Each structure stands twice: as structure tokens, then as C-alpha cells.
Amino acid sequence: MNYDIIGFSNDLGLNLQQVSELYAELINEFNLALSELKVSMIEKDLRNIQKIIHNLKGVSGNYRITDIYEETTKINNLLKSNNYNNLELDLNSLLTVSNLALKKIKSFFYERSIVI
């Protein structure tokens, strides 16, 4: 798994049940951000796209969700350099990676009989 949930839990001094509550919040936050990202893609609102990517990058870095962090870092760097050539492809890739990551995180807790 690409996510060090147990290490994250240990670093915070929390048990998995407590950390599951943080991840539940994270999943809600991600779902809202990804919905907003889809709307911004349709509207071609680059400023809002950049804001969302920046926020997702920070949150995914804090939670050690490396695949999303890497995708958002790449997109963030492209946006900063005004490179929009493959932006739609990159954003769609991020959506795919994010949806898979959220499923894996839910599965991690489900396998331990923790509902999030």
C-alpha cells in the first residue's frame, strides 16, 4: 500500500480508531474538492484549479498519500510554469488516482473492522 497509515497513527500518538475519524474527514474533503475540480475543469477556471491542486497537494502530503501527492505536485509545477498542454489528461489522471486511493484507504480500515 502507498499509504503509511500506521506510521501516521504512531506519529500522532493515536490509535487506528481515532485516526479513522481523521481519514473519514479527509475522504469527505477530497470528495468535495474533486467535485469542485470537475466543475472547474468544465468551466476552464485555471485559478480555481490551481487552488484546488495546491490544497490537495498539501493535504495528501500531510497524510502521506504519496500517489496523490506526486500527481498534484506534477500538476502544480505545470500550472506554475503555465504549461497547460496536457492539463486535462493530467487532471483526469489525478481523478483516477484519487478515486483508487480513497478506495484503498477505506479498504485498509474495513479490513480492520473500523468503519469510516
What is the chain's pLDDT, residue by residue, as a tens digit (116 residues)?
678 899 999 999 999 999 999 999 999 999 999 999 999 999 999 999 999 999 999 999 999 999 999 999 999 999 999 988 999 999 999 999 999 999 999 999 999 999 88
Instruction: Count Cβ atoms within 10 A of the Cβ of residue 75 and give its class: 0-12 exposed, 13-18 middle, 19 or more buried.
Output: buried
Q: Rounded to the nearest 5 degrees, what angle is found at the Cα of 13, between the Cα atoms of 11 and 18?
A: 110
Q: Which residues, in sequence order, are CB contacts of 68 under 8 Å at separation 6+?
A: 56, 60, 94, 97, 98, 101
Residue 112's SS3 state is coil
Q: For residue 76, which phi and psi values (nearest 5 degrees)?
A: -60, -45
Which pLDDT score is estimated for 1? 60
Indicate the Cα dihedral angle 29, 35, 38, 44, nearest 10°: -70
What pTM does this model have?
A: 0.91
